Structure 1
Amino acid sequence: MIRFLSPWWLLLVLPVLATAGAYVWTQLRGKVAGVRFSNVDLLTRLVPKTPGWRRHLTATRVFLLVLLAMATGMAKPSVDVKVPLERATIMLAIDVSLSMKATDVTPNRIVAAQQAAKLFVKELPANYNLGLVAFAKTAEVKVSPGKDRGVVLAAIDALQLQESTAIGEAIFTCLDAIASVPADGASGAPPARIVLMSDGYTTYGRPNAQAAAAAKKARVPVSTIAFGTLDGTVELSGQQVSVPVDRDALQKVATQTDGRYYEAASSDALKSAYADLGSSVGYHTPNPRKSPSGTQVWLCCVDSRPPR
């Protein structure tokens, strides 16, 4: 579809049409006058045939075409071009509770989780949206869903441990972040997955089952990765406290949401967490406007989700 960014310039077409009309009217009026006051038989004998109006045709046509081209060019015609837009979104949720400093995973749980998370970020397809949530007693969006991997990597490195664990709150926070992804004219929410890294024990906030039910309703699978062993301990207030990994809780969250459960934070496990993620490819069918800098801004898209 052709549209014009400055359609008011098309008003210049009116003088062009008026000029063409005046020229045709003048030619016809002169011909009629000649017939009215001349002896046609005498003229045909004395005056050789001439091209008449045809002698002006080429020059007039070129002149009018130039004027039309100028008017059309000033109106800035543009054609809508369909540009693929990827809306698939992954939220990475990392447990930063104090139990994550246990050393039963080398060098400890939190460092192993950070290393695995950064590997995940680097190997994730560049056209996926990626966001980061850190959770302990509460859950916080560290990076909203987007395609800037550098911001996510920096946020992972800056994670700090805190008290308590709220897996349910982490899932709810991820769902809110996914819902914030712009629709851009698409129908429905983007296909999404939550990848949750934790040692499993919820000690604060809404229960896991409630959060899993919300994720199931939103059709957002939660894949869980368990960090730690049954023998993990941490030093708290000068005492060694047992912090065994709660594999059952993490596995249940994954099962209830149609996600996947992993016990090892290996490269292959992380790849599997997003390998089956569907994509939502939209297409720009834009209504262009001018940004303050003068560049064109193309808005909106249409969503189409390919079958898995």
Structure 2
Amino acid sequence: MSPQLVTLLLSWPEFKNPGRLWTLALLPLLVIAYFLALRLKGRTGIRYTNTAVLGAILPKQSQWRRHLAVAMSLCSLVALSMAWARPMGLERVPRERATVVVVIDSSQSMMATDVKPNRLDAAKTEAKDFINTLPDGFNVAVVSLSGSSSVRMPPSIDRAATLRAIDGIQLQDGTAIGDAIESSLSAIKQAPLGNDKKPAPGLVVMLSDGTNTTGADVAGAAAKAKSQKVPVYTIAYGKQTGYVDLDGKRERVPPDPKLLQQVSQATGGKSWSADSAGELKDVYKDVKSQVGYEEVRKERTAQYALYALAFATVAALGAVSMAARWP
């Protein structure tokens, strides 16, 4: 039996008609009846004293085959009962619509050259490659993260304009992660409604390399994103040994993965770390697998019916093997 099958059967799903699970009450009754039948059979004496003749007439019964057939029959009953109750499960399907806000840190620490040619230019290149891989129907917005975060491009399906907005991001002072989250939430509200007059789900992909230095409370902004059901996926970018020279003074600018991880966890997103352009490219591939799909509740009746058929087939083969006289 495959590990996936074992996991599925051991994990109790939700059901559309849980009242139909009353059939599972038959299971212990059948088990008791089976053991009683075994005990009664053991007490029954044989009518033939000549065991040699009896052995020639009747084939030996394999105990393990009998037990296997019964066990598989009971498993089939369990799977059929669950299928009748219409089990529900989560399935990952491609998103049809979404609004993705790409947040790029533009603070002075992004001039560090630990990532060639520097953090900001490398981040822009990989962010543009990421945007080009998103489905054409996705709206994409761009927010620059600095001491005065702003929406550089409102949600749009115009990829050329979005890429130009990324190219226009320049270095600025300060790092206000909380402000960037709030700007992202504002950008999501600007996205056009769908044909059903409902907004597309919003997601934020934030790349930053520094510690928050100013602006709104990060925890408060993350709580606001959670209340609006907007997950924030964070990328801590740069090496711990990174540094910049400001006003004739060399300052270390290591990324702060702990803070970014707290943001992603608080909003239901996911966090990554990358200290090179190559790693950032791989991270964006993971990000795409997250934002490009959604979990949808679907009925799994057919799946459980298939398992019931598999158990019943094994039980039938066991019964046939006991009835047949093999040469």
TM-score (norm 2): 0.57
CA contact (8 A) 1:100 1:108 kept: yes
Q: C-alpha displacement at 1:103, in angstroms?
A: 1.4
For 1:211, what is the secondary structure of its paired residue?
Answer: helix
CA contact (8 A) 1:105 1:227 kept: no
Figure out how many residues of one structure are paired with residues of the other and give that number: 200
- Alignment partner of 1:116 out of 123, 126, 129: 126
Q: C-alpha displacement at 1:115, in angstroms?
A: 1.2
- Look up the match of 2:25: none
Q: C-alpha displacement at 1:208, in angstroms?
A: 1.4
CA contact (8 A) 2:204 2:230 kept: yes
CA–CA distance in structure 2, aligned partners of residues 214 and 274 of structure 1: 24
Q: C-alpha displacement at 1:182, in angstroms?
A: 2.6
1:50-69 map, 5 Å: none
CA–CA distance in structure 2, aligned partners of residues 181 and 235 of structure 1: 40
Q: C-alpha displacement at 1:266, in angstroms?
A: 2.8
CA–CA distance in structure 2, aligned partners of residues 212 and 279 of structure 1: 22
CA contact (8 A) 1:169 1:205 kept: yes
Supply the RMSD in Å over aligned alpha carbons.
2.2
Q: C-alpha displacement at 1:184, in angstroms?
A: 4.7
Q: What letter is aligned with 2:138?
A: Y
For 1:266, what is the secondary structure of its paired residue?
Answer: helix
1:153-302 map, 5 Å: 153-184=163-194, 186=196, 188-264=198-274, 265-277=279-291
For 2:291, what is the secondary structure of its paired residue?
Answer: coil
Deviations 1:76-96 (A, max 9, x none): xxxxxxxxx954110001110
Deviations 1:266-290 (A, max 9, x none): 323112213233679xxxxxxxxxx
- Look up the match of 1:141: 151
Q: C-alpha displacement at 1:140, in angstroms?
A: 0.9
Long gaps (5+) in structure 1 = 1-84, 281-304
CA–CA distance in structure 1, aligned partners of residues 161 and 297 of structure 2: 31
Q: What letter is aligned with 2:273?
A: E
Q: Percent identity?
A: 41
CA contact (8 A) 2:108 2:172 kept: yes
Long gaps (5+) in structure 2 = 1-94, 299-327
For 2:200, what is the secondary structure of its paired residue?
Answer: coil
Q: What letter is aligned with 1:274?
A: K
CA–CA distance in structure 1, aligned partners of residues 126 and 112 of structure 2: 16
Does residue 131 (structure 1) correspond to residue 145 (structure 2)? The answer is: no
For 1:263, what is the secondary structure of its paired residue?
Answer: strand
TM-score (norm 1): 0.61
- Look up the match of 1:96: 106
CA contact (8 A) 1:195 1:223 kept: yes
Q: Which has the larger radius of gyration?
A: 1
Greater share of residues in helix: 2
Q: C-alpha displacement at 1:153, in angstroms?
A: 0.9
Q: C-alpha displacement at 1:247, in angstroms?
A: 1.0
CA distance 1:149–1:225, shift in 2 (3 Å): same
Deviations 1:231-275 (A, max 9, x none): 111111011011111111111111111111111243231122132
Deviation beyond 4 Å, 4+ runs, structure 1:
305-308
CA distance 1:258–1:103, shift in 2 (3 Å): same
CA contact (8 A) 1:87 1:279 kept: no
Q: What letter is aligned with 1:120?
A: F
CA distance 1:267–1:230, shift in 2 (3 Å): closer
CA–CA distance in structure 2, aligned partners of residues 216 and 180 of structure 1: 18
